[in-house]
Structure 1
Amino acid sequence: MSEDWKSDRIESARQGTNPTVIARMKSGFAVLGDMQFLPGWCILLPEHQTDSLNDLSMNERSDFLLDMSILGDAILSVCQPDRINYDILGNTDNYLHAHVYPRYTWEPPERKPLPVWLYEDHYWSDPETAFSLEHHGDMMNKLRSYISAHSPS
């Protein structure tokens, strides 16, 4: 499968060519993270590319942050992590997007107090945990069902 969709993740989600899309939400798209070393790591992409949360209207901000929390609820329900970490940075990918990271009791104790993005490089490139529909499709369907049942119209 071509990975051209990665060059513009938001537009490919809008066009239906981004295979990581879990669900369309009011503010944008819930997608599964490229690496799943923490099963259920998701990202909320906005409907249209924008630089930051502060560039949205108050209603759009409310929708985005509510969708982010609903995505966290879905991960809690489906993946049963110990907790959820929410992260909006935009330093590497210079557009608004929110990472929703599950954190697990089985993570190494030295990792638990640190942000996910400080995991060593090999976690971010291990083919064993890379996204694939074959390995992650069932989890995506469960997340999709939760989001569908709990998102406002």
Structure 2
Amino acid sequence: MADCYNCRRIARIQSGDDTRFVVELDTAYVVLGDHQYWRGYTLLIHKRCLPELHDLPSFERMRFLEEMSLVAQAVWNVFKPVKLNYEMLGNLVPHMHWHIFPRHANDPDRLKPVWARMDALADDPRNKLADSELVEMKSLLKAEIQRLKTGSGGGAVAR
């Protein structure tokens, strides 16, 4: 859909124009979040523009959830948080996507949802990544996703 943010992002990924793209899986694309105040913030964007999990056939829904879990494990292993927050909202962008937020011991208001601080932190310099830092984070995350897939005896196919 032309008016869907995630559909436009997928088009950028497919054309090679999304600098935060990490890897393609069977049902979804993995990208680093635009805001990196929570180092390792990652999104898993479903390939199809559907608003709800129950809109998917059960086999595809289960695959999407398996891939979300795999990506979360990779985020955990690479970024070493003390907790992960998972959210699939869709109020603003009704195209299924998971937000995976690594929560670190030094997070501000670490007992509150990230959305409570998102606007206040939008201009925080800690959101910005140097190009080299972005490349390294993407490389580490992609390698860990591939390692986990191989170690599990197959599963999602990263492209």
TM-score by length of 1: 0.86
Offset, 1:14? 2.7
2:12 counterpart residue number: 12
1:1-150 to structure 2, matched below 5 A, reads: 8-108=8-108, 111-131=109-129, 133-150=131-148
Backbone CA RMSD of aligned residues = 2.0
Distance 1:41 1:6, change over 3 A: same
Q: How many Å separate the matches in 2 of 1:103 and 1:80?
A: 9
- Could you tell me which amino acid in structure 2 is paired with residue 114 of structure 1? K
SS in 1 for 2:48: coil
Offset, 1:127? 4.7
- Could you tell me which amino acid in structure 2 is paired with residue 123 of structure 1? L
Offset, 1:124? 2.3
SS in 2 for 1:60: helix
Q: Is the 8 A contact 2:70 2:145 kept in 1?
A: yes
Q: How many Å separate the matches in 2 of 1:50 and 1:10?
A: 14
Q: How many Å separate the matches in 1 of 2:7 and 2:45?
A: 14
Q: Is the 8 A contact 1:45 1:98 kept in 2?
A: yes
Aligned-pair identity in percent equals 28
SS in 2 for 1:29: strand
Instruction: Please give the per-residue CA displacement for 1:35-94, whole angstroms capped at 9, x wherever unaligned.
Output: 100100000011122222121111111111111111111111111000111100001112
Offset, 1:142? 0.5
Q: How many Å separate the matches in 1 of 2:15 and 2:28?
A: 13
Q: Is the 8 A contact 1:21 1:30 kept in 2?
A: yes
- Could you tell me which amino acid in structure 2 is paired with residue 89 of structure 1? L
Offset, 1:132? 5.2
SS in 2 for 1:35: coil
Distance 1:48 1:87, change over 3 A: same
